[in-house]
Amino acid sequence: MRQCFRKTPRWALILVALLVLAGCIERKVQPRNYFALMTMKQLGDNQQISALPDLGVGIGPVTIPQRLKRQQIATRSADNQYTFNDLNQWAGSLEDDIAMVMGENLAQLLGIERVTYFPWRYHGALTYQIEVNVQYLDADLNGAAVLVARWTIRAADSHETLAAGKIDQQQPLSAASYAALTKAQSQLLAVLSKELAEILKNLTQAQRSNQG
């Protein structure tokens, strides 16, 4: 008895192949995660050390190394090898994020309302300018986040250097994740903000004592 088999149309085979390929691609593609640094308030830290509402502070310029000027979040191993993860990226500019977080932190710590960011059109309403040169802001996912930065506080009108220093500090990660990494980096910026706030408070008190 003769059996007859119908030949499958070529277009059907192509369609099946495309559907299988699309299914494989869909399973392999992972969504990107986007992160931003957190302010002290977002970290649950509501500390305020003074009330200086008439103070005006300008943040910037904030500079970072060329290796950090990319969207991918950087991790650094113990042997100083960097990895940049395409699936975990900054939601915006890292320099702008650092400046914004520091500005919000200082506003909270000192009870000030006039905070502006470099570049500004005029500095007539500013009392101090804070420049920050970040040398390291990265982390080992299995270890700690690191912040190494030099900072300078200047008089906004005369540009005279009033104080300068360096922070070199680590913050252990609570977990081996990028969420924990960015939280630890935010905690390091909070440490820097508190150090700067204390200096600004002392500078202001000394200036007012001299005027009095």
All structural domains of the chain with their residue ranges: 31-211
Residue 28 has pLDDT above 70, yes or no: no
**What pLDDT score does 5 carry?**
44
pLDDT reading at 64 higher than 70: yes
**pLDDT exceeding 70 applies to what percent of the chain?**
84
Under a CB-based contact definition with an 8 Å cutoff, are residues 184 and 173 in contact? yes
Q: What percent of the chain has pLDDT over 90?
A: 75
Helix, strand or coil for residue 169? Answer: strand
Tally of helices (H runs) and strands (E runs) in the chain: 3, 8
Peptide bond into 119 cis (omega under 30): yes
pLDDT at 109 (0 to 100): 98
Task: Tell me the mean pLDDT in the region 107-128.
Answer: 88
The amino acid that residue 188 corresponds to is L
The encoded tokens of residue 16 equal 């099946």
**pTM: predicted TM-score of the whole model, two decimal places:** 0.85
Is 147 within 8 Å of 185 (Cβ atoms)? yes
Report the phi/psi class of residue 111: left, alpha or beta, with left for phi > 0 and alpha for psi in -120 to 50: left
CA–CA distance, 36 with 98 (Å, rounded to integer):
9
Average pLDDT, stretch 76-103?
94
Q: Does residue 8 carry a pLDDT above 60?
A: no
pLDDT per residue as tens digits for the range 93-116: 999 999 999 999 999 999 998 999
Residue 158 has pLDDT above 70, yes or no: yes
Angle, in degrees to the nearest 10, between helices 94-110 and 178-211: 50
> Chain-wide mean pLDDT for the chain?
89
CATH for 31-211? 3.40.50.10610
d(CA 151, CA 167): 8
Nearest to 138 by CA among 64, 86, 210: 64
Q: Of 16-30, 58-72, 117-131, 168-182, which range is least confident?
A: 16-30
Tell me which of 1 and 41 has the higher pLDDT. 41
Question: What residue has token string 């994020």?
Answer: 97
